[in-house]
Amino acid sequence: MTSNPNSLAARDVASLIHPYTNLEKHKEAGPTIIAQGDGVYVHDDSGKRYLEGMAGLWSTSLGFSEKRLVEAAVRQMEKLPTYHIFNGRSTEPSIELAEALLKIAPKSLSKVLFANSGSEANDQAAKLVWFYNNALGRPEKKRIIGRHRGYHGITVFSGSLTGLAHNHVDWDLPMGPVLRTDCPSHYLYGEPGETEAQFTDRLVKNLEDLILREGPETIGAFIAEPVNGAGGVIVPPKDYFPRIQAVLRKYEILMIADEVICGFGRTGQMFGCDTFGIEPDIMTVAKALSSAYLPISATLISAPIAEAITAHAGKLGNFAHGFTYAGHPVSSAVALETLKIYEERDIIGHVAEVSAHFQAKLRSFLDHPLVGEARGVGLIGALQLVTDKASRTVLPAAAGIGALIQNAAMEKGLIVRASPDAVYFCPPLIITRAQVDELFAVVAEVLDIGL
């Protein structure tokens, strides 16, 4: 693949470091070069077609050939291709997008700060927690509780919030301001004989114990994805979030909902917060905000936070924070068009309809000897791979079966994501019932490879 030095593959190996890639193996294997998109499918540079069962990186909600988004970008490019919103300047698309977001967001939220990626939106959320508590004269109240298996990004601080071991090995991320609590997977972490309700009781108690042990006066916020994505597509027990939130409120700890994957219909409602009963003080969104056609993200904050930071910044003379590309007019115009399409085509209604079929198909794999749990909600799901169903013994990472399944699916024209012990699905929201069948038909063919 990489033997011809002028091939794209060889040039890739010679010039690029790839995220989340085994760089040694990549030297030999080279890249799969994706050249074109068409609805829920992408094509590589040899013309081979793949059903994109992960919507890219959990992101391309409207598929890979939505003309209206291209046209929105071109229109804005021709009118005003770039500008910023520093120093009191603004642009029409950034204003309209902020308004459109607040219209659909949970009612607790009242102002928007833009950024460019999920990581930046979460970094920004953490900085706002710190600035807010300084504004309130409680400089000790700064630590942020994340969860095991949480994924919040990869920058210096969003990486610290991320609770996945492999993102920490040898990266020396600053952990001082971070505390960690449980992952809410009853299947993976429930004790033998423990019901889901008892499991939730235990997690709620563990959180409160942690807060009391560390001192509530030192803890500013808690961050969680409504459904953990990269950490395993973990769907929490039904009353987990309302009960966690009751504890947080008791100790004046802010709730940050990371909706970078769940936002905009993925869970069957507009936000994961709606599906799981979360009332966020801060919410971060990215990915499906623009169907990932251009980089854009946002951090939404409640009125009390907005008022406190505005007054504090006034006292200091400046709100000394912001990214050059925050509220970029072209990204904003594309995001605005994305939100219009969600509404006009009733994407949420479509997800509600097709997801019943998707979830039923997913659960049909429970019969397979390798599948311990089939979990999911809306159009996101995972198959948990086990060596022993009765004891819930998870497939060991060293077995490499996840990678085998992922590669076999790719051979057969399906892109899914596999961790060592699970296979994930997160297709574009526009997927049809027939395409859901096509997706799971390939899964049925390749799962046996793990036996």
Please give the residue ranges that form the binding site for ligand PLP (CB under 6 A): 57-58, 117-119, 122, 151-153, 225, 229-230, 258, 260-261, 286
Please give the DSSP secondary-structure letter assigned to residue 300. E
CB of 144 closer than 8 Å to CB of 179: yes
Q: Cβ(133)–Cβ(254) under 8 Å? A: no
Of the pair 30, 159, the CB lying nearest ligand PLP is at: 159
Smallest distance, Å, CB 118 to ligand PLP? 2
State the nearest-atom distance from the C-beta of 157 to ligand PLP, in Å. 12
Is there a contact between 182 and 148 (Cβ–Cβ < 8 Å)? yes
Nearer to ligand PLP, 133 or 228 (CB): 228
Give the nearest distance from C-beta 162 to ligand PLP in angstroms: 8
Pick between residue 122 and residue 331 the one whose CB is nearest to ligand PLP: 122
> 194 is written with which tokens?
């423990």
Q: Provide the 3-class DSSP secondary structure of residue 37.
A: strand
Q: Alpha carbon of 268 to those of 197, 263, 275, 304, 352: distances in Å?
A: 24, 10, 8, 29, 5
> To the nearest whole angstrom, how small is the minimum distance from the Cβ of residue 225 to ligand PLP?
5
* Minimum distance of ligand PLP from residue 288's CB (angstroms): 11
Using the minimum distance from each CB to ligand PLP, give the nearer residue, 52 or 361: 52
Find the shortest distance in angstroms from Cβ 146 to ligand PLP.
Answer: 11
291 SS3 class:
coil
Residue 92 host element (H or E) = helix 92-104
Relative to beta strand 254-258, strand 49-52 is unpaired
Residue matched to tokens 């009733």: 346
**What is the C-alpha separation between 293 and 446, in angstroms, rounded?**
31
- CA neighbor of 223 nearest in space, from 250, 258, 249, 253: 258
Name which of 58 and 358 has its Cβ closer to ligand PLP: 58
Tokens at 51, concatenated: 């059903």
Instruction: Give, for 256, the enclosing helix (H) or strand (E).
Output: strand 254-258
C-beta closer to ligand PLP: residue 97 or 121: 121
Q: Which is nearer to ligand PLP, 121 or 309 (CB)?
A: 121
Nearest approach in angstroms of CB 130 to ligand PLP is: 19
Nearest distance in Å: CB 16, ligand PLP:
17
The region, left, alpha or beta by phi > 0 then psi within -120 to 50, assigned to residue 368 is beta
Q: Work out how close the CB of 382 gets to ligand PLP at its nearest, in angstroms, rounded to a whole number.
A: 14
Nearest residue to 210 via CA among 126, 146, 161, 138: 146
Identify which of residues 2 and 290 has a Cβ nearer to ligand PLP in the complex: 290
Comparing CB distances to ligand PLP, the nearer of 230 and 371 is 230
Residue nearest to ligand PLP as judged by C-beta position = 118
Confirm if 298 and 338 have CB atoms less than 8 A apart. no
Distant-in-sequence, close-in-space partners of 432: CB < 8 Å, separation ≥ 6: 354
**Minimum separation from the CB atom of position 261 to ligand PLP (A):** 5
- CB distance 270 to 348 below 8 Å: yes
Identity of the residue, 117 or 124, whose beta carbon is nearer to ligand PLP in the bound complex: 117
Contact status, residue 301 vs residue 128, Cβ threshold 8 Å: yes
